[in-house]
Amino acid sequence: MKKIIDPVTKKELKWYTAAQVFGKARKSKEFQKVYKEEVARLKLAYSIRKSREAKKLTQAAVARKAAMPQSVIARLESGSHSVSVDTLSRVAHALGKQVGLV
């Protein structure tokens, strides 16, 4: 593997696998539950962004249709924030979609 040097510290960066980082924790039920929730949130964010892009809409246009600030759409698409069912429903409606439970 090619050595990568941190430009600030001038030290070689070390790389770790997921198994090395999470070790035994990844086998716990709590970790698996939280991991699945996070993956679901990221998939939802990706799906919303792809739906918006497929309709050739900007975040601002979706925000106007959903009657909310553009920053809410940006946070939703980033997947780094939780979202209320109301907000999700309004965004889905703005994209011509419906929210459903699976």
pTM of the complete model: 0.73
- Which pLDDT belongs to residue 1? 63
Alpha carbon 33 to its chain centroid, in Å, reads 17
pLDDT for 58-82, tens place per residue? 999 999 999 999 999 999 999 988 8
CA angle 47/34/100 to nearest 5° reads 40
pLDDT for 18-36, tens place per residue? 888 888 888 899 999 999 9
Confidence of residue 55 (pLDDT cuts 50, 70, 90): very high
Longest CA pairwise span in the chain (Å):
51
Phi (first) and psi of residue 99, to 5 degrees: -90, 135
**What's the CATH fold of domain 26-94?**
434 Repressor (Amino-terminal Domain) (1.10.260)
